[in-house]
Amino acid sequence: MTTDHSSRHPTPLRVALVASVDTTFQALLAAQVRALEQAGYDVTCLCTPGPSREWLLDRGFKMVDVPIRRRISPLVDLRALWRLYAYFRRERIAVVHTHTPKAGLLGQMAAWLARVPVIVNTAHGFYFHDHMPPAKHRFYVLMEWLASRFTSMILCQNPEDVETAVRLRIAPRERLRLLGNGVPLEQFDPDRFDERRRADMRGELAIPADAVVVTIIARLVRDKGIVELLEAMLGIMGRHPHVHLVIIGPADPEKADAIEPAAMAADQFEPRMHWLGHRDDIAELLACTDIFTLPSWREGFPRSAIEAAAMGLPIVATDIRGCRQVVTDGVNGLLVPLRDPRELERALERLITEPALRSRLGAAGRERALREFCERRVCELVVETIGEQLTRRRLLDPDAAGKPETVRTP
């Protein structure tokens, strides 16, 4: 555990975290921000303001609004680059830590131009994948290569991404480090929820106590496999009247492959299909779930699947990079081919009709989460990496890396 030394030093080193949207900070990075603050750093979050802004401000996060579009938009991108650069220079930022592809490129470039001493990027999953058209694949590989020119260290959540980055010469191995991914296991613990609490939650959702509930957590975009899931579930629901589908996640109209919520309507099964939008009570919703699914086309290291595993749920996911790091086929879930609604339907129906299999796979998922998916270890590695990079640049005392009361002004 890192000790808080910030009160002993009048000017702790300043760390800026950059992401495209504020929901990334709420959903993925809040614990890392707290860990850096506890280590004594002065941390600010820069992103596009959105639905999570008030949640973050209410909890004391320092927020700076920088509109960053996920689509390529030259004028908006140049304005974002300038604002990031100006902020880093004006505030004498010592460390910039970027997240998500677009914010990563702009943030790293701006930090390099501003001569920020330490630039760290977390690769939450490379945007390119094997099923992408070749020209598009080459473009995104080039973008990752370009961004890496400005970076002190790249933290990869997925072990496959480390090898991919080396093979495609995005970055040399010595500037890559495996970070992994994790969740707060004390929060995502099925033992927190008794049968009465589960029944109450199902009652709030108008789901019968004896229903079999299939849940997905994903933005409403095609590359999350929503269309394939709906096709699979229509067949299943026609044969199994006790099955319900719960979709948790916001609409994402900015994306080219966005799905309108109205397009998911199926009149004959509408009472058994529940789109909840964005929710903050994920553990509670997973507690009243029987099967979790993620038929995604592309993933880095999906936190939603880790949360489901930690809650002791069997998982049906696509056999792709990212999902394979959470699910071992036949051990804690079932893996199905990409974009194959028929195989997805068969795998889901198998779990729906075999409660003993659900129980066995779910228990194995919980055991795996306890072994491999601890958020605290991820936070410690982030703090350790930043401390090592600052020490290397002689901004921290080499005998006290990670203790910012020993800082030297950059």
In which band, very low, low, confident or very high, does the pLDDT at 7 lie, cut at 50, 70 and 90?
very low
> Could you tell me the two tokens for 149?
């020119």
pLDDT above 80 (res 267): no
As annotated, the residues of the chain forming the CATH 3.40.50.2000 domain(s) are: 6-182+374-406, 190-372
pLDDT attached to residue 129: 76
pLDDT in tens, 277-287: 989 899 999 99
> Could you tell me the two tokens for 205?
């959702």
SS3 31: helix
CA distance linking residue 100 with residue 113, whole number of Å: 20
pLDDT attached to residue 398: 65
SS3 365: helix
pLDDT above 70 (res 357): yes
pLDDT in tens, 172-207: 999 999 999 999 999 999 999 999 999 999 999 999
What are the backbone angles phi and psi of residue 166, rounded to the nearest 5°? -70, -45
% of the chain exceeding 90 in pLDDT: 79
CA distance linking residue 275 with residue 226, whole number of Å: 12
pLDDT attached to residue 215: 98
pLDDT above 60 (res 410): no
Angle at 255 between CA 68 and CA 133, to 5 degrees: 110
- Cα-Cα-Cα-Cα torsion 323, 329, 334, 335, nearest 10 degrees, comes to 50
> What's the whole-number average pLDDT of the chain?
91
SS3 21: strand
pLDDT above 70 (res 265): no
Q: Name which of 166, 170, 38, 179 is nearest 97 in CA terms.
A: 179
> Could you tell me the two tokens for 383?
């703090």
Please state which architecture CATH assigns to domain 190-372.
Answer: 3-Layer(aba) Sandwich (3.40)
CA distance linking residue 132 with residue 110, whole number of Å: 29
pLDDT attached to residue 4: 39
Burial class (CB in 10 A: 0-12, 13-18, 19+), 194: exposed
pLDDT attached to residue 6: 40
Task: Say which residues have a Cβ less than 8 Å from residue 357's Cβ, sequence separation at least 6.
Answer: 314, 350, 351
CA distance linking residue 111 with residue 105, whole number of Å: 10
Task: Kindly state which CATH superfamily the domain 6-182+374-406 is placed in.
Answer: Glycogen Phosphorylase B; (3.40.50.2000)
Q: What is the mean pLDDT of residues 69-79?
A: 85
pLDDT in tens, 53-65: 999 999 999 999 9
What are the backbone angles phi and psi of residue 47, rounded to the nearest 5°? -170, 175
In which band, very low, low, confident or very high, does the pLDDT at 137 lie, cut at 50, 70 and 90?
confident
Count CA within 13 A, CB hemisphere, residue 38: 15
pLDDT above 90 (res 257): no
CA distance linking residue 382 with residue 389, whole number of Å: 11
pLDDT above 90 (res 86): yes
CA distance linking residue 174 with residue 210, whole number of Å: 53
Q: What is the mean pLDDT of residues 373-397?
A: 94
pLDDT attached to residue 406: 43
Q: What is the mean pLDDT of residues 38-42?
A: 97
Amino acid at 371: R
Burial class (CB in 10 A: 0-12, 13-18, 19+), 173: exposed
pLDDT above 60 (res 233): yes
In which band, very low, low, confident or very high, does the pLDDT at 268 lie, cut at 50, 70 and 90?
low
Q: What is the mean pLDDT of residues 300-322?
A: 96
